[in-house]
Structure 1
């Protein structure tokens, strides 16, 4: 057990880099930035797998050794406990006066009657009665075998909990996705449908649970100080046979009240706003942009982002790239102006406004490189391929006109919701083992092993000497009171008789 505790400490110590350092499974880009900023030290940590802690060879080795140690500890203890359960209580010692607890008295009742009363009084204890060569009769009783049962249940449940966690990390997955609240849909059909996805070690994304979610509406209520009071997303979902019949089932999705379907859980994490822009190009054609912006202030939900447009009816690819538009800036759900500076006074969309910068040129979206939907490629600006052509504050319904006649109108905002899908095939077992761990620990701490012996020895004058001895096999405050009560009852019976 000492080895198991040492390995458990090493496991906790080994998990610390996973909490303090960026992990490649969560944010590979941040790991690359960390390594680039720290040079050889970052590369050294990478060689030691400190950015993939939970999949590293050394962490797995400690984990496996902990399993081996626990199994090696529990199997002999289980066998020993099995033998103890089959064994009879220890016979009465020759000198009961040496026991930590001892009491004696004389009685006129014969030894056989004394032993019969002791057996009745100790009902529920494991008993064995015996007769000694000098005519004395004895009773040996023991209680508290459930202590070791609880101890074994605790450790086996802890072992099962570790196995369940390991299997959950291997075969589970977790992903986040943003869905528009005006009927936007999400289907759990592949990893590319997620904005971020963390697969288990044995998950390749080809066999995800099949279900779809549609967000029909979203409502948020806030206290007067801007603190969120309640989030409610009216969603519909399909799973199982519903996918074939096209049936949508309603569900009121709330924070901490996930949708459970197809073995997965769908959580409502939060929400934000999508600014709606309508761009009228010089040729009269219009484009509407509705790209979510991310909150930069969690209290007022002031948000930043970038809404990007391709010009219509430009057949030449080079000319089309040079005419792309991007609207970036700040969105305030409830506008509060300080001169020309825009800020948000409240998280609800009471009076939305935007402070925008308009860029025109090559956005770099055709370069083949990944690009954040929340920002533009600053390198394109530095290279002169993308230039700022306008800056203005717009309230809902207001518009601005660019130098080439392009008109940009701010039409208001729309809610989006952030959903998290979690799949853990071992969650029921984790719950079961967690409950058993608590129950086993409670039993092992509350139940104590103790023994009591009674000897009734006949004397030549016809009286009987009754001795009672007690021993607590484990430290327990209060056993003295229990022994005193038992011995008083046994001795009093003899004296009264």
Structure 2
């Protein structure tokens, strides 16, 4: 096979609808690893720290996964290859069909076949009108039915249903639109999240985000400048017996300001984002942040402030690590559990009975390590790397504490931790998906296109006026170009009646069509290809 012929063969295979469907299915399968979640397979653009920890825990498997791009699925070369091949396949499949459709729309309906009795539905009978009057009446009937009409001599051809193919083409173009919209959002959009404790503020700059992911063509200058103050976070839970503990309200009361603007009040709720141009701010999570003060053996304050704890269950039992790297002579860390509503049952450990803070209690153990040289390497603030630390012992047992609000615990070396109070935190997501209007518009077009495809009736109908032995008669036949279409027999009978014929309508079996008068006609072969007249 010559190279040109081989390339033509490859192009033909790539642009077939079968290949497009295979690639679409392959794209769905390829997207699965990227959607498994951070606990199973974290993605480097969203959780670089988790990816590093995942690889450190499974070095051999992690190295293989990293080479395969499984930690950045949507940015991997193989995912991009499937995506681009699908786009090329769809374009190569749709463009020729559009050209064929355009030619078909401009062309006249086909001529009348020689054997009308071969059609799925046919009717014949004498007419009381002259040949010219019968053809004129038939043409008017077809035009009134929105048929495209071709008249040649004593014959009429009518065709309807071009909207069905238009719907098919529009549906496939809309798929391209969805892919294009996703591509625009992936290349120019961004998504970042930040945890804000009550009483704090967030400014929309890259340095303020806890995690941030953006497209290849994104520029930091595209971030809309604003500052959001989280003044108060109101949360309420169901306290009745029905749906006890279910969430009833999550609402951020704050202020919002752009450059050189006075802060204005704003409300942020779940599924009710704040819209800022092409960007939006969503409330996607919340939890508790105990406020603690840590002093070292000399009495110097090593840490003071809120610490974000991550909820682990529906009653918001939360895990966190209180780190005091500036404590001397050893740095301190407290591996802790925050319980918003501590169970009062005797002998029960850290167990929450309700998600609201009815009886907040802070539990924990104490760890120490030598002062650390700053390397600039990020670390997980929510977990403790215990390979660097040594657990503090209180005699023969680990040093541990259980603190109510206002209580303190003194470590055997003289350090002290005080549980001052607590606040709520909320997780905000700021995102921009510039391709979203394209996606929504394409989906709307797809729905309309499906309606055109489902309800369109591609149909051809033909009529011929003949004179034989002094008797003028009309022969009418028709066929649907799609299966499961009703009403063809009525259309055939209607055209014959309009041309002045008293007819019997015959179906595909040669018997009179159901519900119509007539006698048995010659057997017809439905589905045979029409023999169009020259």
- Whether these two folds match at TM > 0.5 is yes
Quote how far apart the aligned CAs of 1:129 are.
4.6
Whole-angstrom CA distance in 2 between matches of 1:485 and 1:359:
88
**CA contact under 8 A between 1:365 and 1:371: conserved in structure 2?**
no
1:468 and 2:476 are equivalent in the alignment? yes
The equivalent residue for 1:160 is 177
**CA contact under 8 A between 1:23 and 1:51: conserved in structure 2?**
yes
Whole-angstrom CA distance in 1 between matches of 2:62 and 2:370:
35
**CA contact under 8 A between 2:201 and 2:230: conserved in structure 1?**
yes
Whole-angstrom CA distance in 2 between matches of 1:450 and 1:275:
73
**CA contact under 8 A between 2:188 and 2:434: conserved in structure 1?**
yes
Q: 1:153 to 1:471 in 2, by over 3 A?
A: same
The equivalent residue for 2:520 is none
Q: 1:284 to 1:60 in 2, by over 3 A?
A: closer
Quote how far apart the aligned CAs of 1:346 are.
0.5
1:431 and 2:440 are equivalent in the alignment? yes
Whole-angstrom CA distance in 2 between matches of 1:372 and 1:128:
74
Whole-angstrom CA distance in 1 between matches of 2:296 and 2:66:
50
Q: The residue matched to 1:344 in structure 2 has which SS? A: coil
The equivalent residue for 2:421 is 412
1:267 and 2:289 are equivalent in the alignment? no
Q: 1:371 to 1:45 in 2, by over 3 A?
A: closer
Whole-angstrom CA distance in 1 between matches of 2:335 and 2:59:
34
Q: 1:307 to 1:204 in 2, by over 3 A?
A: farther
Whole-angstrom CA distance in 1 between matches of 2:335 and 2:418:
14
**CA contact under 8 A between 1:466 and 1:491: conserved in structure 2?**
yes
Q: 1:173 to 1:282 in 2, by over 3 A?
A: same
The aligned runs of 1:482-497 (5 Å cut-off) are 482-492=487-497, 494=500
**CA contact under 8 A between 1:307 and 1:326: conserved in structure 2?**
yes
Query: Which has the larger displacement, 213-222 or 439-448?
Result: 439-448
Q: The residue matched to 1:256 in structure 2 has which SS? A: coil
The aligned runs of 1:41-190 (5 Å cut-off) are 41-122=61-142, 123-132=144-153, 137-182=154-199, 184-190=200-206
The aligned runs of 1:363-442 (5 Å cut-off) are 364=372, 366=374, 368-382=376-390, 390-403=399-412, 408-442=417-451
**CA contact under 8 A between 1:363 and 1:380: conserved in structure 2?**
no
Q: The residue matched to 1:380 in structure 2 has which SS? A: coil
Residues 37-78 of structure 1: per-residue CA shift (max 9 Å, x gap): 555554334333333332222222222222222222222211
Residues 267-295 of structure 1: per-residue CA shift (max 9 Å, x gap): 10121011122456777776632111111
**CA contact under 8 A between 1:305 and 1:375: conserved in structure 2?**
yes
The aligned runs of 1:184-199 (5 Å cut-off) are 184-190=200-206, 192-199=207-214
1:229 and 2:248 are equivalent in the alignment? yes
Quote how far apart the aligned CAs of 1:259 are.
1.1
Quote how far apart the aligned CAs of 1:18 are.
3.1
Query: Which has the larger displacement, 343-352 or 358-367?
Result: 358-367
Whole-angstrom CA distance in 2 between matches of 1:228 and 1:365:
44
Whole-angstrom CA distance in 1 between matches of 2:373 and 2:253:
34
Quote how far apart the aligned CAs of 1:359 are.
4.2
Residues 122-177 of structure 1: per-residue CA shift (max 9 Å, x gap): 21433335353xxxx32211111111211121112211221221121112111111
Quote how far apart the aligned CAs of 1:261 are.
0.5
Q: 1:419 to 1:387 in 2, by over 3 A?
A: farther
1:215 and 2:230 are equivalent in the alignment? yes
**CA contact under 8 A between 1:353 and 1:394: conserved in structure 2?**
yes
The equivalent residue for 1:477 is 485
1:303 and 2:343 are equivalent in the alignment? no
1:256 and 2:271 are equivalent in the alignment? yes
The equivalent residue for 1:456 is 465
Q: The residue matched to 2:452 in structure 1 has which SS? A: helix
Give RMSD over aligned pairs. Answer: 2.8
Q: TM-score, normalised by structure 2?
A: 0.80
Quote how far apart the aligned CAs of 1:444 are.
2.0
Whole-angstrom CA distance in 1 between matches of 2:441 and 2:291:
48
Residues 239-287 of structure 1: per-residue CA shift (max 9 Å, x gap): xxx3113x22322211111111032111101210111224567777766
Query: Which has the larger displacement, 275-284 or 4-13?
Result: 275-284
Quote how far apart the aligned CAs of 1:99 are.
1.0
Residues 181-224 of structure 1: per-residue CA shift (max 9 Å, x gap): 22x1111111x311112222333646423222111111112123
**CA contact under 8 A between 1:456 and 1:466: conserved in structure 2?**
yes
Q: The residue matched to 1:25 in structure 2 has which SS? A: coil
Q: 1:39 to 1:355 in 2, by over 3 A?
A: closer
Whole-angstrom CA distance in 2 between matches of 1:210 and 1:168:
20
